[in-house]
Amino acid sequence: MRLLLFGPPGAGKGTQARKLVDRYDLTQIATGNIIRAAMKNETPVGLEAKSYVEKGELVPDAVVRKLAEGAIADEDYDDFILDGYPRTLQQATWLTTFLTEHDAPLNAVLSLEVPDEEIVDRLSKRRVHAETGENYHLDVNPPPDEVDDDLIIQRPDDKPETVRNRLQVYRDQTEPLKTYYKERDLLVPVNGTGTPSDVHARITEAVEAHT
Ligand code: ADP
Ligand code: ADP
């Protein structure tokens, strides 16, 4: 099964990807996570990406393409869920060509639909575990008491001024991909509101209808 999870920053892609990984035994390919790991390890890609991520801009297409295609090849072109890739029309075009060349088309593009006000609330209340990358939300899914407070951090790009820029970048560069995938009969809109379990139930229904 080859899935793509699509949606604005904070829509719940990472949260839902983890649930799908458990349910269908897939590998999550999240370019944001790969980029953050590269930044932490100060690799050449990490050093190049840093200034873009910190401003809430997109990392150049050619850089992210290599990361995504490498990760897909590592999975033998199957049983993966893309989270946060592609984010531009250029990336989407490359991805279609790459998957077609390997006879590995996507089954579905699940588009998480969440109103703007809720996106801003989710991002401002998102916290992450500095070591495991586990995602929390201060109200909906607070970090458990036993986790050391010092390890619970806010992503620097979740600060309000950067969030505003990321949402604008999403509107300008990423949202047009919905039309791209609709034209290819792959787009499956999913209501992303309600509890994470509600959303998971809707997603699995959509997945089962498209595989
Ligand atoms: P979110 O899902 O909250 O938007 P991610 O963790 O997916 O955040 O991405 C964090 C940052 O990493 C993005 O703001 C961007 O700078 C960079 N990034 C991740 N994926 C891509 C991509 N496909 N193309 C360009 N930049 C990306
Ligand atoms: P994305 O990967 O799309 O940026 P995340 O999965 O990181 O999104 O979710 C963003 C924030 O919203 C996190 O704090 C997460 O715990 C929270 N969250 C995820 N799904 C829901 C939901 N259904 N309702 C409320 N909060 C949610």
pLDDT single digits (tens) 51-63: 999 999 999 999 9
**Residue 168 exposed, middle or buried by CB count within 10 Å (0-12, 13-18, 19+):** exposed
**What pLDDT is recorded for position 178?**
98
Number of residues in the chain: 211
Give CA–CA dist 154/201, Å, rounded: 28
**What pLDDT is recorded for position 142?**
94
87-101, 133-147, 167-181, range with the lowest pLDDT = 133-147
Query: Over 90: is that where the pLDDT of 114 sits?
Result: yes
**What pLDDT is recorded for position 209?**
93
Query: Over 90: is that where the pLDDT of 77 sits?
Result: yes
When pLDDT is cut at 50, 70 and 90, the band that residue 161 belongs to is confident
**Which residue is associated with the tokens 């229904």?**
205
User: Could you tell me the strand order of the sheet in which 80-83 lies?
Assistant: 27-30, 80-83, 2-6, 108-113, 187-191
Cα of 12 from ligand 2 centre, angstroms: 4
Query: Over 90: is that where the pLDDT of 160 sits?
Result: no
What CATH class does 2-26+79-114+174-210 carry? alpha beta
Give the position, in ligand 1's atom list, of the atom nearest the Cα of 170. 4
- The residues carrying an active-site annotation are 13, 87, 126, 155, 166
pTM of the model: 0.95
Give CA–CA dist 100/80, Å, rounded: 15
**What pLDDT is recorded for position 71?**
98
**What pLDDT is recorded for position 39?**
95
**What pLDDT is recorded for position 182?**
98
**What pLDDT is recorded for position 168?**
94
**What pLDDT is recorded for position 25?**
95
Ligand closest to 5 (CA) is 2
Give CA–CA dist 71/68, Å, rounded: 5
Backbone angles phi, psi at 64, to 5 degrees: -70, -35
List the domain boundaries for the chain: 2-26+79-114+174-210
Share of the chain above pLDDT 90, in %: 92
Mean pLDDT computed over 108-136: 93
> Atom 4 of ligand 2 has which residue's CA nearest to it?
10
Contact 136, 29 (CB under 8 A): no
Query: Over 90: is that where the pLDDT of 83 sits?
Result: yes
Mean pLDDT computed over 164-172: 94
User: Which three-class secondary structure string do you get for the chain?
Assistant: CEEEEECCCCCCHHHHHHHHHHHHCCEEEEHHHHHHHHHHCCCHHHHHHHHHHHHCCCCCHHHHHHHHHHHHHHCCCCCEEEECCCCCHHHHHHHHHHHHHCCCCCCEEEEEECCHHHHHHHHHCEEEECCCCCEEECCCECCCCCCCHHHEECCHHHCHHHHHHHHHHHHHHHCCHHHHHHHCCCEEEEECCCCHHHHHHHHHHHHHHCC
Kindly report the average pLDDT of the chain as a whole number. 95
Pocket of ligand 1 (CB under 6 A): 9-10, 13, 31-32, 35, 52-53, 56-59, 64, 84-87, 91, 157, 166
